[in-house]
Chain A
Amino acid sequence: MMMNQMMRRVVIRLFAQTVLLLILYVFVTLIGAVKFLQSDDPLALAFPYQQVGPMAEMLLYLTILTGLLGGGIYIVISERTDGHTRDEAVLQYAALGWTIFLALAFIAGMLDLLSGRHGLPLPAILSIMKIILAGILIIAAVRSVREWSSVVVIWLAGMAIVLLTSAAGLITSSDYATESLIRTFTSGLRLHVGFTLAAIALGYWLMHRFSNITPGWSESSLYIVAGFLTLAGLIVTLGPLNAFSAGPVTEMFMRIGGVIIPLSYMLLAAHSYRALSDRNATHTLSAHWYTLGLILFLLGTGILGTIATYPEVNRWLQGTRLTDLQTTLVALAASAVCMGVINQAGAELRGENRRITGLLPFWLAAGGILLGGFALAGAGLVQVYLERVLSVGYLETQDFIVPLYAGWVAGYVIFALGTLIYALGFYARRPYFTERDQLVDG
């Protein structure tokens, strides 16, 4: 349960990068959202949407990936080893390499070298670098595990799926439809199965911290929930295929999604409710952030995912703000869990049982995400009705929903404020770098 200084530095560096990436994501998204307001855009040519959109998406996915790496490594090292690993030097250099990779990815975004909208639209060389470095970080951390808990197994399974789908996403094809199928399928699996499993594993670790649930119960319930979420995630991934490549088998599975997806997320909600209703004396905000993540998962996959996967409905929604919102909500759900882990682990690394980032940034982030999300949902509904049902032109429809885009911008302004205050709190109460190996047990 101890963590030496070298490991402490690795974890804190990953947490700090996660917070920084989240801030960058929110601000780049805000720049992109303002472009939807149709007013004169001073950055129309200097920072066009074709650059802003992929960059925002990349920053969000790197936030999740870095947060999940940091959180998972913290859990593995602090709980399942002797506070260090056999490969400390490897881990340290891989963490340094990860910092360089993030800097290069940001530069690639600024130089407009990203391509497409499929989660992590990095140039191939950076994608390979990402897979190798993340792989080294994960392997170096888990090689010293003494006892494989469900949290570590599910986190590892989720991260393995993330890396495998990232590798599969590098396959190109001369046929646009085939390439689009590969990109859509792999990015969907990465988000709805890989990131989701890893985030839920960290969520269950948080449950251990903020509630009185027994280890035996959480061990078995995490495996069951993760099993259902794997199937649900796979089916949600099929939704986008409906527009260009779904055959009868795929369509049949999409129909089954109408049962599997809500069932899986109801199970997750029931387990989470049990933990949330039996809180212990932990004063960090891990329960708050986990609850936000849970709500976003329920809205994103549980409700929107179910609706958007049903074939007859999906045909009308594909490519609108609603399908865009669906994936964004799931990604933000995983980010919220990461924020909860940073909050909890930050307090533990300081040896204090208190919140390190405060309630204000939590409420601002939650309010901003929900306001922006509901505005986008409204925009998506109006878009479907005008553009798809009444066949009103795309440009006229977009003009009509500008007020709803203003709500989206307002939501992200609040969200941005929340992330900035969160970052200030994280910096002000950053974990000690010196050897003060205490533990807050919750």
Chain B
Amino acid sequence: MNGPRTFFSLCLIIGGVLGFLIINDTLPEREIPAEVVAGHEIWRRYNCAGCHTLHGQGGAYGPDLTTNYTQRGETYLREFFVNPNAFHPNARPMPRFALTVAETDALIAFLADAAMSEHALAWPPRMIAVSGLSGVGMESFVEIEDDRGTPEPAAILRGRETFTRQCASCHSLMPDSGGLPGPSLFGIADRAWYRVIGQSAEQYIRISILDPSDYIVEGYADVMPKNFGEILSSDEINDLVIFMLMLEDPNAGDYDFGGARGSE
């Protein structure tokens, strides 16, 4: 009997040593900004992990939020927290938590920290989109240097190139349209998410490229070519969408969202 008992004891000891090695093998200590700590506290208080996963851990009732900040950006998230169900009216309901401005800031800082961390770059293997057939992989966000030597995600650079080649003759990137036949795309990332209730900015931009007649901006004619789905590859469209999602307006906070929503 001593043999099997010794074997079991040895396994327990080996298990303990392995556990110690594994704990030491994992996370390095790091400085956490106070706002991120506050955001973590809000994450706990409202039991966000009861429905959502972060780095694959938590409830699986809602989407994984590891790369949510990267996909949506701050402006979208800020509005989303006010009334989540307006964005996905036919999907699983999310409670309204009536967050204060400070709480919202902290929660966004927490999600930004989770999305930008070293771990988020290693997982998931491909970006998990909340909604829409995005087809965007993490490799799109690997940074390369642009022609001025500034590091930028590869997808944005490719998207900018596609924009210059295919779109710049009709759309301006300045605040006014500059006399071009199409509306200016200055700040489109800040406007796209509230154009159609329940539709993400990504979806709105993608549909606007593929089926431009679906959304005609007031004051403009339906003259945009309808064949971009044929002449651009899916990767080019993905890159173009990512580039446009970066076109933010620094004064977006001054917009009167309530009046503008759904009017176009």
Q: Is the interface of A mostly helix, strand, loop or mixed?
A: helix
- State which of B11, B26, B88 has its C-beta within 8 Å of the C-beta of A245: B26
Chain B stretch 17-68: residues in CB contact (< 8 A) with chain A = 18-19, 21-23, 25-27, 29-30, 32, 36-37, 40, 43-44, 46-51, 53-61, 63-64
Question: Is the beta-carbon distance between A177 and B119 smaller than 8 angstroms?
Answer: yes
* Bound: A396/B90 CA distance, A: 11
Minimum CB–CB distance for B57 against chain A, Å: 5
Question: Is the beta-carbon distance between B50 and A395 smaller than 8 angstroms?
Answer: no
Given A181-B26, A248-B25, A48:B95 Cβ within 8 A: yes
* Bound: A393/B12 CA distance, A: 44
A396 / chain B contacts, CB cutoff of 8 Å: 131-133
Question: Is the beta-carbon distance between B88 and A395 smaller than 8 angstroms?
Answer: yes
The number of chain A residues with a CB under 8 A from chain B is 80
Nearest B residue (CB) for A182: B23
Of A21-29, A81-89, A112-120, A355-363, the one contacting chain B is: A112-120
- State which of A183, A231, A391 has its C-beta within 8 Å of the C-beta of B136: A391
- Is A44 an interface residue, CB under 8 A from the partner? yes
Question: Is the beta-carbon distance between A224 and B7 smaller than 8 angstroms?
Answer: yes
Of A100-108, A268-276, A284-292, A315-323, the one contacting chain B is: A315-323
Question: Is the beta-carbon distance between A250 and B22 smaller than 8 angstroms?
Answer: yes
Minimum CB–CB distance for A283 against chain B, Å: 31
Interface residue tally on B, bucketed by range: 35 or more
Minimum CB–CB distance for A180 against chain B, Å: 5
- Is A36 an interface residue, CB under 8 A from the partner? yes
Of B98-106, B122-130, B212-220, the one contacting chain A is: B122-130
Minimum CB–CB distance for B210 against chain A, Å: 16
Question: Is the beta-carbon distance between A116 and B127 smaller than 8 angstroms?
Answer: no
B64 / chain A contacts, CB cutoff of 8 Å: 319, 394
Question: Is the beta-carbon distance between A223 and B131 smaller than 8 angstroms?
Answer: no
- Is B117 an interface residue, CB under 8 A from the partner? yes
Nearest B residue (CB) for A32: B61
* Bound: A148/B39 CA distance, A: 50
The 8 closest A-B pairs by CB, nearest first: A318-B56, A319-B56, A50-B50, A223-B4, A227-B11, A244-B55, A247-B25, A394-B63
Q: Can you show 26 pairs from A to B with CB atoms below 8 A apart?
A: A41-B93, A44-B93, A45-B95, A49-B59, A50-B59, A50-B61, A53-B50, A54-B59, A115-B44, A116-B44, A117-B59, A175-B40, A219-B4, A220-B3, A227-B8, A227-B10, A230-B8, A240-B57, A243-B56, A243-B123, A248-B25, A388-B128, A391-B135, A393-B130, A394-B63, A394-B64
| Given pairs A243-B124, A250-B25, A396-B132, 9 additional interface contacts (CB within 8 A) | A48-B93, A175-B32, A176-B113, A177-B117, A223-B5, A230-B12, A246-B25, A319-B57, A320-B60
